[in-house]
Amino acid sequence: MQKIQLDKTYNFDVPNVSFGDLSQDEVYDILQDGRHASPFVEKQLTKWFPELKHITGNKNHDHLWGDQKLDAKNFTKGGLKFMPSKMLGTGRTVDLSEVKKKASELIYICCDIVEFPKVRIRFIDGLKLLSQYPTATVPVRDREMFFACDREALAA
């Protein structure tokens, strides 16, 4: 169990994940895809961080930390996209004014699942994240720097 601290990277391991007759490697491969991992990661976050309350259903956020809304986003092999889900997908457009409005209300829980079962977590203020990545996407080439940087580097 961890206490939530903004701009800090937390490292976890999720051992012994299984499903039916699938090999562990097959399950790990599936859970490196954010679409499949999200429901599991969102629930697991409340075990790692008991201060979080998971919000079920399709709301505009996934968790509460007191009165603060948080939205979990997965960093995958395609990077981390933190625009509203309705803006993701082929043929959809990103409305940056709506992205900014949502970011101003949220703390993002950035979950690195690229090397699942290893998982890295960062809690980041939405406007701070948007100021660093104004297209609402953290490219995969920035992944190591994104999870390696410390609080002072983020403030710069």
Q: Average pLDDT of each block of 10 consecutive residues along the chain (156 residues)?
A: 90 92 94 91 96 87 94 92 65 70 92 96 95 92 87 42
Number of folded domains in the chain?
A: 1
In a domain, 76, yes or no: yes
In a domain, 58, yes or no: yes
Residues composing the chain: 156
Supply the CATH number for residue 72's domain: 3.40.210
In a domain, 119, yes or no: yes
| Closest of 61, 87, 79, 73 to residue 124, by C-alpha | 73
In a domain, 156, yes or no: no
How many C-beta atoms lie closer than 10 Å to residue 103's C-beta? 24
Cα–Cα distance between 32 and 29 in angstroms, integer? 5
In a domain, 143, yes or no: yes
Burial class of residue 30 in the structure, from the number of CB atoms within 10 Å of its CB (0-12 exposed, 13-18 middle, 19+ buried): middle
In a domain, 54, yes or no: yes
Structural domain containing residue 23: 9-149
Integer-rounded Cα Rg, in Å, for the chain is 15
In a domain, 155, yes or no: no
Contact by Cβ (8 Å): 107, 126 = yes
pLDDT value for 156: 39
